[in-house]
Structure 1
Amino acid sequence: MSFWDIVTLTTRFSELPKAFYTPIDPQPLSNTRWVTWNSDLAKHYGFPDKPTDELLQAFSGQAVPKQFAPLAMKYAGHQFGVYNPDLGDGRGLLLAEVASKSGQVADIHVKGAGLTPYSRMGDGRAVLRSSVREYLCSEAMAGLGIATTRALGLMTSDTPVYREKQEYGALLIRMADTHIRFGHFEHFFYTNQLDQQKLLADKVIEWYFPECAGQENPYAMMFNQIVDKTALMIAQWQAVGFAHGVMNTDNMSILGQTFDYGPFGFLDDYQPEFICNHSDYQGRYAFDQQPRIALWNLSALAHSLSALIEREDLEQALNQYEVQLNGYFSEMMRKKLGLFTRLPEDGAIFDTMFELLAANKVDYTRFFRQISMLDKAKPQEVIDLFLDREQATQWLDSYIARCERELNSEGEPVSTAQRCEKMRQVNPKYILRNYLAQIAIDRAEEGDFSELERLAELLKKPFDEQPHNEHYAKLPPEWGKTLEISCSS
């Protein structure tokens, strides 16, 4: 019996009208073979622990199962602030949806599947370099507890693909709660297909926001949910020092999942104006611009929903974005510093900390992990991260004095050990630094996938000490801080 006869699949998106997509089969690559398989994620959705030849043939398009309904979604979007009507799945295909053991439904999407009507000037392919980066970063974000798409598996091939140089075609199997993005609603609005847009909104409510159904203003409630989930996602990005790099509206998930990993980057030195995308010449998507750009994108979505939702309701939801974002971010940063109660001097402690981190170009992740170790390490190890040790000492003294005023729910002082233990649960020791990803890519391109697998396993538990992997927590070499990452993939 075929595996596809026993797994629970649906093809509900393909049952929508043809205005939503174009049916198209994957175009197989030459000599496709497995690079890696995400066993943990596979188990969650009822797939085998290990990849099989049957799975490879199905996902690569060599033998499309009858249970699949491959299609390329049609959408639009604002790219670097400019509306582009000619977007859609240009190299990816939605194959089907699968239900987990708990009943959760997720899209099975393959990236790099060949030409579609929306490929524009592209070749419809993905390369191993970018596919490795997406595989690793989606695992890193999941490990950090941030909503994200996930990668089920990765394949490579002998098919040449030309970017800045000749590379080889790869296929990434991406799992997501949905691939519906802001750009779907924009497409139907700007083409005046308002009946289709209403149908899309109805399906989004039915599939993802059932609590909105039957309410007086279900579409307004849906938009409120999207705003809130986006605010949470952005707060999480800012808290862990993650820069997405290409926050176009076609890369914004309606469920607030981190989506479409391209020229991303985690902060090394704390630089608020950090630009991870070498192609972003104006710095539109710089790290410190992400909260503002998310609101811009939500405003674009609101405009496209104006036929379904009253302007007053849209504006009310948008006005809540900064409140929600600041609330989430404040809560996260307080946990990172171990300040669980609120005192008047807290604002000054945070402001001075960020000023010192920026002025001294302190490694963002190392700093927070180090102050999580004050129960086991000397304060000097925090001070030594700064060039200006005098100011660092003054700040650390005031911070420790503030921590000593922390009380638990019974009104008793919180010990340093108790505080630091909680802080280590939110301040990662391991992140996906660009240089670590590059080392894994270099080895993968030589046919050695062991570093990719080691790194993926490491990033699933970023808060654990993992003594045998201590070298992955080292500060990056200078060359690792200057890697140029662009949209090319």
Structure 2
Amino acid sequence: MAFDPQAYRPESTILSLGDPFYDVVEAARFPQTTIKYRNDRAAAEVGLDGLDDESWAAHFGRFEPLPGSLPQPLALRYHGHQFRSYSPDIGDGRGFTFAQLRDRAGRLMDLGTKGSGTTPWSRFGDGRLTLKGAVREVLASEMLEALNVPTSRSLSLIETGETLFREDEPSPTRAAVLVRLSHGHIRIGTFQRLAFERDAQAMRRLVRYVMRELYGEDSDDPVALLTQVVERSARMTAAYLAAGFVHGVLNSDNINVTGESFDYGPWRFAPSWDAGFTAAYFDADGLYAFGRQPEAVHWNVKQLAASLRLITRADPLIHAIDGFAAAYQPAFTQAMLWRLGRRSASPDADCALVQATEAALLATQTSIDQFFFDAFAQPLPDSYGAAWDRVRTLLAAAPPRADRSHDYWAGTPCAMPIDDVEAIWAAIRDADDWAPFHAKIAAIRAMGAALR
């Protein structure tokens, strides 16, 4: 075991919130703990990359406490709107907050789990995670990180040796436990629970905690908190669209108040610029479709405003909520410029380039990944045709932001179509072959290095 003395900074600040916010729980005991993926790059940010495999499995498979951090896992309590229907019967049902640490930048980070066993909020679930679900979450978080989306990172994937039965995928299937590294796990639904219970004292305590520990501000102003969430959520959603990403389940319990995306279930990357493209088979009405994600996140942030009405006046909250559109549009412009590999030239030029790009993507329904690859690597080829003439002209006048000499640009774009995900899983399922999985992670990281 080796903790980096310069980077390992354990915390337990969540305990200051007190018992009403969580339940102390125990992790499940698994038949085995076989490490399949460890994210040493993310672990280095919190001083955990020096752990040997035995210690890694002990902490992230058997959940032995990290020194100086939480003595016991905590299942967080929250409510939430799920597809616009309010549910007071949810909370951490197959996960918990295992530890808290400061990263090298001083941010408070949570180690949260998925598939670690039952809690008081499991209802009729078994508290477990399929191995396929864990693989999908790793792929999503790696891809989003590379595409400049604020996201949790998958820190560890350990196979547990259990057999699971599920109605929505072939069974029996293998099980795993996942650990993610996130900038907090306080959700909009955390505030909704306190509003539902009319607990003004706990609401004020939560506002102070978020402002101090997650935003680094010495304040207890609920309007200031809402303003932060509006701006951070707008940036996250804008980054989703520039990445071509569809989260799939943007319920209020899945919106982190730090503006960091997390919890990847039925996600997909859209093959083309299709506003109606959905990720979840159960989203029959397209509530969380690709083009409706800004609307969905804005709606969720409104629920936070409604919850904060418990401790402050409505007018300033309404004013803060009205700032979502004003925050989203420049965030979307900057996210698209980043994906195009260009720096800002002027507000008018930036807007013209982004509008032309979106219009051409929509009109031609070309591959999102291929187009952005070509736009970043070189001027658009003539094969794109007349629909791209205006984009080509505007790109030529936009200042590039990065070196195009990286080896990545000599190849083909790294993408994450659903067929690739299924092929990676099939190799694991049929032959326990993890080579395609690790090859994809390497390709994603090479793309991320090139884009930076």
What TM-score does the superposition give when structure 1 sets the normalisation length?
0.82
Deviation at 1:60, TM superposition (A): 2.3
Say whether residues 1:435 and 2:419 are aligned partners.
Answer: yes
Q: What letter is aligned with 2:427?
A: R
- Alignment check: 8 A CA contact 2:2 2:52 kept: no
The residue matched to 1:290 in structure 2 has which SS?
Answer: helix
Deviation at 1:55, TM superposition (A): 2.5
- Alignment check: 8 A CA contact 1:372 1:424 kept: no
Deviation at 1:308, TM superposition (A): 2.3
Name 1:23's counterpart in structure 2: 24
Deviation at 1:121, TM superposition (A): 1.6
Name 1:10's counterpart in structure 2: 11
Name 1:478's counterpart in structure 2: none
For the residues of structure 2 that align with 1:45 and 1:343, how far apart are their CA atoms? Answer: 38
Name 2:80's counterpart in structure 1: 77
For the residues of structure 1 that align with 2:367 and 2:348, how far apart are their CA atoms? Answer: 28
Deviation at 1:310, TM superposition (A): 2.0
Aligned residues: 439
For the residues of structure 2 that align with 1:97 and 1:322, how far apart are their CA atoms? Answer: 33
- Alignment check: 8 A CA contact 1:25 1:61 kept: no
Q: Judging changes above 3 Å, is the alpha-carbon distance between structure 1 residues 343 and 49 closer, same or farther for their aligned structure 2 residues? A: closer
Alignment of 1:59-458 (within 5 A): 59-61=60-62, 63-64=64-65, 67=68, 68-164=71-167, 165-213=171-219, 218-337=221-340, 338=342, 340-342=344-346, 351=355, 353-375=357-379, 379-381=381-383, 383=384, 392-393=385-386, 395-403=387-395, 418=400, 421=403, 429-445=413-429, 446-458=431-443
- Alignment check: 8 A CA contact 2:186 2:257 kept: yes
For the residues of structure 1 that align with 2:121 and 2:302, how far apart are their CA atoms? Answer: 25
Q: Judging changes above 3 Å, is the alpha-carbon distance between structure 1 residues 54 and 210 closer, same or farther for their aligned structure 2 residues? A: closer
The residue matched to 1:211 in structure 2 has which SS?
Answer: coil
Unaligned residue ranges in structure 1 (runs of 5+): 384-391, 407-413, 467-489
Unaligned residue ranges in structure 2 (runs of 5+): none
Deviation at 1:196, TM superposition (A): 1.0
The residue matched to 1:460 in structure 2 has which SS?
Answer: helix
For the residues of structure 2 that align with 1:231 and 1:320, how far apart are their CA atoms? Answer: 9
Computing the radius of gyration over CA atoms, which structure comes out larger, 1 or 2? 1
For the residues of structure 1 that align with 2:337 and 2:67, how far apart are their CA atoms? Answer: 52
Q: Judging changes above 3 Å, is the alpha-carbon distance between structure 1 residues 226 and 200 closer, same or farther for their aligned structure 2 residues? A: same
What TM-score does the superposition give when structure 2 sets the normalisation length?
0.89
Q: What letter is aligned with 2:389?
A: D
Q: Judging changes above 3 Å, is the alpha-carbon distance between structure 1 residues 331 and 117 closer, same or farther for their aligned structure 2 residues? A: same
Deviation at 1:335, TM superposition (A): 4.9
Deviation at 1:277, TM superposition (A): 0.8
For the residues of structure 2 that align with 1:53 and 1:181, how far apart are their CA atoms? Answer: 33
Extract structure 1 runs of 4+ deviating beyond 6 A. 343-349, 422-425
For the residues of structure 2 that align with 1:291 and 1:33, how far apart are their CA atoms? Answer: 39
**Cα RMSD after superposing both structures:** 2.9
Q: What letter is aligned with 2:189?
A: G
- Alignment check: 8 A CA contact 1:28 1:62 kept: no
For the residues of structure 2 that align with 1:225 and 1:307, how far apart are their CA atoms? Answer: 18
- Alignment check: 8 A CA contact 1:269 1:361 kept: yes
Q: What letter is aligned with 1:432?
A: M
Deviation at 1:41, TM superposition (A): 1.3
Q: Judging changes above 3 Å, is the alpha-carbon distance between structure 1 residues 424 and 195 closer, same or farther for their aligned structure 2 residues? A: farther
- Alignment check: 8 A CA contact 2:137 2:265 kept: yes
Q: Between the two proteins, what is the percent identity of the paired residues?
A: 26
